[in-house]
Amino acid sequence: MAPTLDPQLRRALAERVRYCHEMGIYDFYWRESAVSESIEAGQPSPSAISESLFVASQPELREEMAARKSAVAPAVVEDNIFELATPKPEHGVADPVAALQLIREDLGDCTRCKLHKQGRKQIVFGVGNPRAELMFVGEGPGADEDAQGEPFVGRAGQLLNNMIKAMGLRREDVYIANIVKCRPPGNRQPERDECETCSPFLMRQIATVKPKAMVALGATAAKNLLAISAPMSELRGRWYDFKPAGSDPSWAGARLAVTYHPAFLLRDPRQKGETWKDLQMVMKYLGIVPPKKAAE
């Protein structure tokens, strides 16, 4: 049986790995460990919610991501290390609306990775409340998002909307973004270099919105945000501390939870109950009382 890491040590390690990731350092080894922490004791019963809350209109074909096979991460361009030293246009801009606009302008008509020449119609930046307490991060735009320029507007988006509603929130209350901002062709999983190229912009969005809590939707989002390679069963059911390097020192950072991607739930609705457990953990932290219908 694989050894279980002390949760505090694991958190510290995850924080360290993520920090290195943000610094552009990937050239180290990750030895798999079986760390599985259950949902914190005292959470509301997951069975309390009807699965119908999450019903979306059509089944989705998109696959949930498999765990990265390789334990060795490839080296990346070392230039990234110096990125932190370069002041970003939004630094010192207190208004998050203006700051997000500056990040969007900096992104421009991005050609930084190969996705720009693989059929993307437009960049899908992010949407929602620039001061949101809660932020969702998905994987990357699909065909509908590519067409409309907004994340999570297709069938998976309908399900995400239902999840948000079940939490007692509106889509406009939260902020929604993706690991990559351009549609990977054929809805394939974004590749490592694409995620690495795009993630500094996501980090700047997170540092601007300064959410209290974040939810990584699916394994690709979780693994990229946390720089951890582990199956969903190990990633879910616990909190991670999340704070992009170089962000406002007066912001305590976000607590990050991992749950299933809505597209995966469309294929396997049996996991909706588990997802609801994850969302309840988030609601408890944010002090959100679920609407009466959801609690019945």
The footprint of ligand URA (CB under 6 A) covers: 138-142, 145, 151-152, 154, 156-157, 178, 263
Q: Which is nearer to ligand URA, 151 or 211 (CB)?
A: 151
Q: Which is nearer to ligand URA, 83 or 191 (CB)?
A: 191
d(CA 38, CA 239): 11
Q: Which residue lies nearest ligand URA, judged by its C-beta?
A: 138
Closest distance to ligand URA from the beta carbon of 108 (Å): 20
User: What is the DSSP secondary structure assignment for residue 2, as one 8-state letter?
Assistant: P
Q: Which is nearer to ligand URA, 220 or 229 (CB)?
A: 220
Closest distance to ligand URA from the beta carbon of 129 (Å): 17
Closest distance to ligand URA from the beta carbon of 196 (Å): 17
Whose tokens are 């946390």? That residue is 226
Closest distance to ligand URA from the beta carbon of 20 (Å): 25
d(CA 201, CA 195): 10
d(CA 28, CA 31): 10
CB 213 within 8 A of CB 254: yes
Closest distance to ligand URA from the beta carbon of 69 (Å): 21
Q: Which is nearer to ligand URA, 177 or 294 (CB)?
A: 177
**Three-class secondary structure of residue 249 per DSSP:** coil
What's the token pair of residue 239? 């909190």
Q: Which is nearer to ligand URA, 24 or 154 (CB)?
A: 154
Sign for the CA dihedral angle at 276, 281, 285, 289 comes to: positive
Helix axes 218-226, 192-209, angle to 10 degrees: 80
